[in-house]
Amino acid sequence: MLTDRQKAILQLIIREYTKTGMPVGSKALSAEIPSHVSSATIRNDMATLESKGLISKTHFSSGRVPSIEGYRYYVDNLVEPDPLDDNAEDLIKSSFNVKFNRIDEIVQESAKVLSDLTDYMAVTFTPEDGDKMKLSGFRLVRLDNRQVMAIIVTDNGHVINKIFRLTNVSADQLQLIVNIVNSELVGKPLDVVAKKLQYDIPAIMTKYVQTPQGFLNIFGEMLNDAGRDRVHVGGRLNLLRFAERQDVDYLKPLYNLLDTGDGVSKIVDPDSNNVQVKIGSELRNELLKNYSIITGSYDLKEYGHGVIAVIGPTRMPYSKVIGIVGALREELTKKILGYYDDQDDDN
């Protein structure tokens, strides 16, 4: 257990180190402690914090810096989210106060806003639930004698298209394929569509098309693309500014990890219902030992849930960033639910 003064000292060390990046000494702390406390008393409290592994002494000076354990104690017990300032609130409202045609556009914009507000790398996941997302439209467009473009649309606004070769198929047969898909599959959840595509649809199509397997394979690939989590990233280069070692051998694998959807998905926890913080070694990746991730999930009722996250250095202003993540996920929830309400009104 820490005394109230020790908690205050730890909080001050973290706040000062966040601002300056320099070790914090007892003299600097004595000027910040509200009541008069001697430097000797502060040094004793600092020694206690060090013995508990919450701060450590550097070999550059007599000052102290927070440890990973210190940041964790601070986040779990002492941090209070900062309210949004007027500029941040105005940026969020103005960014979302436009007409969006797809969910993806809203989520992509949120990644940009989150990055702009924090100056760190931001990651947002398109809210998708394969069990609930439905196929809402399908078309085949002949481009020439050999090439056809297939287009599918989901009820949350995703549009997927692929160009493929389909030989010895007439315009009438193409229209029959479209009619079969529209009557048998449109309006159904994607998992149901996938099952019918595997078992029911081939038997129906072979009555009208001699070799429908090529088309069925393409259609299956498009369904996988539609149902896959989509990751949107803002401020990729922001993160690299905080890398301790500015050498290619370190930065290249770090950038590769964070430049792919799968890589980001593995380090961002999508299951938390609240704002969650993971620090340094908690991320279980040597490349990220000097970084923290602040994640916020947002609940979209029957439409599933989404995730937003900020990736920055362990020496980040947690109160400010946690406040921004919390506020943005609330605004994002309102905007996306409003989008779904508008879609329902149009139907």
CATH number, domain at 58? 1.10.10.10
pLDDT at 245 > cutoff 60? no
pLDDT for the residue numbered 273: 63
Q: Considering 227, 245, 264, which residue would you say is the last residue of a domain?
A: 227
Tell me the pLDDT band of 327, cut-offs 50, 70 and 90: very high
Which residue is associated with the tokens 């996941």?
125
Alpha-carbon distance 322 to 279, whole Å? 13
CATH number, domain at 249? 3.30.450.40
pLDDT for the residue numbered 115: 95
Strand partners, 123: 233, 309
Sequence-ordered strand ranges (E) for 166-239: 231-234
Query: Same structural domain for residues 246 and 97?
Result: yes
Class of residue 292 by CB neighbours under 10 A (exposed 0-12, middle 13-18, buried 19+): buried
DSSP, res 167: -
Position 15, amino acid? R
Q: Considering 227, 245, 271, which residue would you say is the last residue of a domain?
A: 227
Query: Same structural domain for residues 221 and 182?
Result: yes
Tell me the pLDDT band of 130, cut-offs 50, 70 and 90: very low
pLDDT for the residue numbered 84: 92
Query: Same structural domain for residues 217 and 234?
Result: no
The helix/strand/coil state of 250 is helix
CATH number, domain at 196? 3.30.390
pLDDT for the residue numbered 177: 87
* Average pLDDT of the segment spanning 106-135: 84
Of the ranges 161-170, 253-262, 276-285, the best mean pLDDT one: 276-285
Query: Same structural domain for residues 205 and 310?
Result: no
Query: Same structural domain for residues 50 and 12?
Result: yes
pLDDT per position as a tens digit, 284-316:
888 888 899 999 988 888 777 888 999 999 999
Query: Same structural domain for residues 160 and 18?
Result: no
Query: Same structural domain for residues 95 and 239?
Result: yes
Query: Same structural domain for residues 107 and 142?
Result: no
pLDDT for the residue numbered 145: 77
Alpha-carbon distance 64 to 67, whole Å? 9
Query: Same structural domain for residues 185 and 214?
Result: yes
* Average pLDDT of the segment spanning 338-343: 81
Alpha-carbon distance 279 to 275, whole Å? 13
Query: Same structural domain for residues 237 and 342?
Result: yes
Query: Same structural domain for residues 273 and 301?
Result: yes
Q: Considering 178, 203, 227, which residue would you say is the last residue of a domain?
A: 227
The encoded tokens of residue 35 equal: 């009541």
pLDDT for the residue numbered 162: 86
pLDDT for the residue numbered 78: 95
Alpha-carbon distance 179 to 168, whole Å? 19
* Average pLDDT of the segment spanning 120-148: 80
173-182, 211-220, 248-257, 276-285: which has the minimum mean pLDDT?
A: 248-257
pLDDT per position as a tens digit, 190-244:
888 888 888 888 888 888 777 777 788 888 888 877 765 567 888 888 877 766 5
Strand partners, 140: 150
Please state, for a pLDDT cut of 70, what percent of the chain lies above it.
88
Domain containing 321 equals: 86-128+230-346
- Is residue 21 within 8 A of residue 65, CB to CB? The reply is no
Structural domain count, the chain: 3
pLDDT for the residue numbered 156: 67
- Is residue 106 within 8 A of residue 96, CB to CB? The reply is yes
Query: Same structural domain for residues 295 and 239?
Result: yes
